[in-house]
Structure 1
């Protein structure tokens, strides 16, 4: 029996909202992907990934198979009620029907889970710096009836002490909002340490979200618990999932 290591959001979501994030622990993948890699696009043995996904479905007691996205660092949101099957290019998914499972995979990029206070709508978004800067969180919020009644959980991502970026990344955010300057600390030679958690909070707050939770982990600095692309290059991916229960 493989026992998977789940992280559960610490947030006051309604009881019928179910959410979790996987760690790298408990799967069957080997080598650089050890052990719970859930992504098919990173070079891992596909049979191992499928076994890991089956373990996830079983141990998380998922109501059905999650709808896995082909993430492209964009802002497209897939409404699961409209999904016709196959792989879809998108970086977020939204659902308001019980049993439909939203999921994104990450290994330094920021996973963001959303639910409304009534427990009627949920979403998951993949926010790398490009998607975050270009509005993937705002696009996801557009699908909710009342963004002001949405709560958000920020999952494990690259921390502010590890995320060094070039001046072009800082400039891209400053063109959107001058307040983003607070999220960048110069390190010299035109480089900056970026706080992706603060950047996300700024964007969510500006969009009217007042309940924001999580944002305390660093994937880079916890190699036993998390995959990290920045740290390892060749590596697996964790999954962050959210759904509405059927009872």
Structure 2
């Protein structure tokens, strides 16, 4: 099956993509393009999937730069292909031929580019990382490599949408302690439950940071099991594990 790759005109002409689960070699709960080495999927099958992504990005598998993601606000700068994975939640490079990759299964994959300066970035932005400043830290790291945030574009890929993201009052309290104005990213749900707008919050943080352009592709990972893996959906279904989607960008 052919890979399905979602792209954005805002990031063109750079080679990039938010890969769906279509076109992969995995089976069972991982059916499709599971690119997560940290999953319990067969390692050799994950390698096959990642090789297909590398081919689509026109790089070798070794040039797929990735991270040991920990929901932090830490950014790693990459200047050469490397198989080691730094503990961080965003990557930045000004080196052609390296594909920056992020793995997600509900969190926001965010691809950045200042095409004029030749600097790109990729961030894994869950609620914790977004609240702690991973998006702003990515822009700072890009500027250190010569980018201008006014010339930078960021696109949020498939992520869990507000209608599917139910949270409790303790979650809400964390945001209120940071800024009471963040209440606008919550809607009332059943009982004491609330619905959190993760992509809306991500767009707000990007725009408040002075980025030139920011958008969300509009795809919800939870609502479309044919195309996307979802951690939350897997929990609700009582599944033992879940696949990881990959997003990538290169100069």
Which residues of structure 1 form unaligned runs of 5+?
none
Higher helix fraction (1 or 2):
2
Contact 2:57 2:250 in 1 (8 A): no
Query: 1:67: Cα distance to partner?
Result: 1.1
Which residues of structure 2 form unaligned runs of 5+?
236-240
Cα distance in 2 between the residues matched to 1:61 and 1:84: 16
User: Secondary structure in 2 aligned to 1:53?
Assistant: helix
Query: 1:83: Cα distance to partner?
Result: 7.5
How high is the TM-score relative to the length of structure 1?
0.91
Query: 1:51: Cα distance to partner?
Result: 0.7
User: Secondary structure in 2 aligned to 1:144?
Assistant: helix
Cα distance in 2 between the residues matched to 1:95 and 1:237: 23
Contact 1:197 1:215 in 2 (8 A): no
**How many residues align structurally?**
241
- Aligned counterparts, 1:33-182, within 5 A: 33-62=30-59, 65-81=63-79, 85-145=83-143, 146-182=148-184
Query: 1:201: Cα distance to partner?
Result: 1.2
In structure 1, the residue matched to 2:29 is 32
Residues 38-62 of structure 1, C-alpha deviations (whole Å, 9 max, x = no match): 0011211101000111111113323
In structure 2, the residue matched to 1:214 is 216
Residues 159-207 of structure 1, C-alpha deviations (whole Å, 9 max, x = no match): 1100011223222223333332111012244321000011011111111
Residues 111-148 of structure 1, C-alpha deviations (whole Å, 9 max, x = no match): 01111141511000001111111111111111122222
In structure 1, the residue matched to 2:6 is 7
* CA RMSD, Structure 1 to Structure 2 (Å): 1.8
